[in-house]
Amino acid sequence: MTAMAVLSKWADLARSHSSAATSYVTNLSGPARSTLKLVAGSAGVGLLAAIVAIAATGPWQAGQRTAERAWAAAREGANAAENSITPAPSAPAVLTGIDPAGSTSATGPDTPLPTAQGLDAALGPLFNDPALGGIRTGAVLDAATGRRLFGHQADQPTAPASTTKIATAVAALETLGPGYTIPTTVVPGQAPGSIVLVGGGDPTLTAAAPTPGADPSAQPASLVTLADATAKALRARGTTKVTLSYDTSRYSGPVIHPIGINENIAPVTPLMTDEGRVDPNSTEDAPRVADPAASAAQSFAGLLQARGITVERTPAPGQAPSASGAPIAQVRSMPLSALVERMLTNSDNDIAEHLARQTAIGAHLPADFSGGAQAVRQALARLGMPLGGTVFLDGSGLDRDDRLTADLLTRLLATAASPAHPELRSVLSGLPIAGFTGTLSDRFNASENAGATAAGLVHAKTGTLTGVNTLAGTVVDTDGRLLVFAFMTSGTADADAAVDALDRLATAVTACGCR
């Protein structure tokens, strides 16, 4: 789907709600505070607001944001002429955010604020749906002021599933910054004629060649690029025969997630290609290689061989000398902002666990599961987040013993929308869009679906484990007000019914105006 087709689809949806709706753009001081001021004239205003918001948080081409499209293009070897890429901005425009002074100027003083009574009347009965299981919690906040407008056991810790990734994203961006990149490096070994491939922890490193002509910062780093540069540097030194080892010392602790070997996640090692998938062209949960680091090193050896560099013996584990001097060659990942977008849009467990470890490295903690969890908690504490009763055991939410609250998730999202925190913008631009992208592409978009009227208006991270279903994100209500929400359930018996119930809750927030 092209960008124009996406916008046209939203426009059709807007017209189906109302023929009269207006919006205009107001730019606050500084690009990070660029925002939309919405004037509510009809039920269609919120949807038109979403159209402009999505165009602003792009860039869009072929129906995907830059980070997703670049990844797909690298996988498919797409023609450069059809896939020129604009780098994803580290601080894309957003609708609104918390004003540190408590002002609602980002949304606009004329935009009505829903009342607690109105939201309670709209959402309260929906929380009685038995499909939501034995534990059901929720919260709705106004993004401009951070004021809680609705709460249903909002402070009760419960299993978050993949909405944990919101916390991981915020912590990584707060600790490392949106422009942070992850290196994969080749350095001289200790012995003459030896080289070491050093993993930095980039799970998106690909064995595929880069897309010709595309901006390197907007597509995954390539092992092919690294081999090209390494072979060139070695020949310049008069070296055509090497021994190769690989260094995975940047991480520590177990490489297998506590859930065990699982197709949802590869062993967490700082050296891998294509997220350790047996089939690198797979974009879904798929079988993983048993030893991603060894597999990546073997692929690298083959690439060197193809470039006239003889690699003696099978690559073996090793460690780079502490004083190895200048690297022979290096590639770097996409910026952290793009990695966060991809992680959230696709609910990518591999990226999540690596970002938790990168956050631990930035916080000078052990780069293992516990160190990553501790680093996430510390980063959120620095932001003043409510952490009472919360438990972080991983970065992805695959651990069933993780515990977060609806209050925490909504405050993380509201903070990401704040003009005071432009470094967190990719948390918002990475959220799947109802009926259009990522894990929400097949929700809110069918006429028989109870959430059909919210297509394009709900931007949210999904969470799913057996018996656990969650949804947290942003909505534009019928008056054009940006709200953040989190709905969490545990003990669900029918996943499809639980998902429909969650979608009805989110749709109710978009539809009511609630005064």
User: Strand 241-247 to strand 310-317: parallel, antiparallel, or no bridges (unpaired)?
Assistant: parallel
- CB distance 272 to 293 below 8 Å: yes
pLDDT at residue 452 in the model: 61
The list of the chain residues with pLDDT below 50 reads: 1-7, 10, 14-106
pLDDT at residue 97 in the model: 35
pLDDT at residue 65 in the model: 44
Going by C-alpha positions, the residue among 260, 357, 250 that lies closest to residue 293 is 250
- Taken in order of first residue, the domains within the chain and their CATH numbers are 3-82 (no CATH), 183-334 (3.50.80.20)
pLDDT at residue 507 in the model: 93
| pTM reported for the whole predicted model | 0.83
Name the active-site residue from 9, 165, 222, 333. Answer: 165
Name the active-site residue from 23, 42, 222, 347. Answer: 347
Find the DSSP H helices in 43-163.
45-57, 66-76, 116-123
Going by C-alpha positions, the residue among 377, 420, 417, 413 that lies closest to residue 395 is 377
pLDDT at residue 468 in the model: 98
State yes or no: cis peptide before 212, omega within 30 of 0: no
At 340, the amino acid letter reads: V
pLDDT at residue 108 in the model: 57
pLDDT at residue 514 in the model: 75
Name the active-site residue from 23, 90, 162, 429. Answer: 162
Q: Report the C-alpha gap between 139 and 407 in whole angstroms.
A: 6
For the question of residue 162 being annotated catalytic, the response is: yes
